[in-house]
Amino acid sequence: MTSPQVPVTGLGRKTLSKAGYSVLYVFLIMVAILQILPLIWLFIFSLKNNQEVFNMAPFAIPAHPHWENYVNAWTKGNIGSYFLNSVWVTAVALAFTVVLASMVTFAMTRMKWKASSFVLGLFMVGMMIPVHSTLIPLFSIFQKVNLIDNPISIILAYVAFNMPITIMILLGFYYALPKEVEEAAVMDGATVNRIFFRIILPMTSSVIATTGIINMIYNWNEFIFVNTFISSEKYKTLTVGVQNFIGQYSTNWGAIGATLVISILPILLAFLLMSDRIVEGIAAGSVKG
């Protein structure tokens, strides 16, 4: 004998909906706390000396914070020079990657030519090539053209390895752009260059912000290429420069923590400033793609 089903009233659905949202919010808050905790730990870590690092609890704040760790990192550790190198190398590689990837995507999605699918396949194959397998060939090539110990070598490597993922993100958005806009521009006498730089690029600013932050994170945190191709102190970036505080017999852990805090600040700042555009680009790509 089956029991009669009790219909769910509008009030019941509303209560269930509120309960579901409450559970979701609690879960998201917990995830946010888990994401923030390592940053808090790193900041506290940067205010300790070597003895406090090993003898105090991870989240215990020292009675006398060692702010001099930041001064030592910036002056004695030459972090100021490494920081500036990271900024300009990241910016140049990011600009070239976004512009070139946008051009390639525009050519493959908005123009009709026989080899477009083949070229797209070549770029997608690039995503499957491990970085480590290219170090020796790239080192040999750069050595022949005198680019070893030259920032141009790491910029070229960043652009080459970031192009496939950048193109893949841009593809869905470009395919969905209305062709009527380009047709109207052509009717007004606009050239291909004018259509791309004055119409297409502004229309794709949101998805460009998404690819920009992805490229920035990769370029800023990259270690292998810099460590392999750069040997002069004047060209090293932050990821390699942090090794200055690691000695054969002693290591300045507080200064290392301060250097890491300095290194993540630009990424956090860029993400905070561009977060709205990033979400907009991801949402637009998911709907239009």
Q: How far apart are CA 73 and CA 92, in angstroms?
A: 25
On whether both 33 and 124 belong to a single domain, the answer is no
* Cβ contact 93:152 at 8 Å: no
Tokens of 133: 């397998």
On whether both 96 and 198 belong to a single domain, the answer is yes
Q: Is residue 70 in some structural domain?
A: no
On whether both 32 and 99 belong to a single domain, the answer is no
Examine the pLDDT at 126 and tell me if it is beyond 90: no
Please, what is the Cα angle at 283 between 212 and 158, to 5 degrees? 20
On whether both 32 and 142 belong to a single domain, the answer is no
The DSSP H or E segment spanning 203 is: helix 201-203
Tokens of 137: 């060939």
On whether both 40 and 83 belong to a single domain, the answer is no
On whether both 175 and 114 belong to a single domain, the answer is yes
Q: Is residue 74 in some structural domain?
A: no
Q: How far apart are CA 281 and CA 269, in angstroms?
A: 18
Examine the pLDDT at 67 and tell me if it is beyond 80: yes
Domain CATH number, residue 114: 1.10.3720.10
Q: How far apart are CA 170 and CA 224, in angstroms?
A: 27
Residue 153 is predicted with a pLDDT of: 95
For the residues 249-265, what does the mean pLDDT come to?
Answer: 82
In this structure, the number of other CB atoms found within 10 A of the CB of residue 14 comes to 10
Q: Is 289 helix (H, G, I), strand (E, B) or coil?
A: coil
Please give the tally of structural domains in the chain.
2
On whether both 27 and 127 belong to a single domain, the answer is no
Q: Is residue 125 in some structural domain?
A: yes
On whether both 141 and 205 belong to a single domain, the answer is yes
Q: How far apart are CA 181 and CA 199, in angstroms?
A: 8
On whether both 28 and 92 belong to a single domain, the answer is no
Q: Is residue 172 in some structural domain?
A: yes
Residue 152 is predicted with a pLDDT of: 95
On whether both 40 and 89 belong to a single domain, the answer is no
On whether both 20 and 88 belong to a single domain, the answer is no
On whether both 96 and 20 belong to a single domain, the answer is no
Pick from 221, 236, 225, 211: nearest CA to 131 = 225
- Band of the pLDDT at 185, cuts 50, 70, 90? confident
Q: What is the 3-state secondary structure (H, E, C) of 91-141?
A: HHHHHHHHHHHHHHHHHHHHCCCCCHHHHHHHHHHHCCCCCHHHHHHHHHH
Q: Is residue 4 in some structural domain?
A: no
Give the predicted TM-score (pTM) of the model: 0.81
For the residues 51-79, what does the mean pLDDT come to?
Answer: 84
Q: Is residue 53 in some structural domain?
A: no
For the residues 146-162, what does the mean pLDDT come to?
Answer: 94
- Band of the pLDDT at 289, cuts 50, 70, 90? very low
* Cβ contact 84:233 at 8 Å: no
Mean pLDDT of the chain: 84
Range of the domain at 31: 11-45
Q: Is residue 224 in some structural domain?
A: yes
Q: How far apart are CA 79 and CA 263, in angstroms?
A: 9
Residue 91 is predicted with a pLDDT of: 94
Q: Is residue 190 in some structural domain?
A: yes
- Band of the pLDDT at 243, cuts 50, 70, 90? confident
Portion of the chain with pLDDT greater than 90, in percent:
26
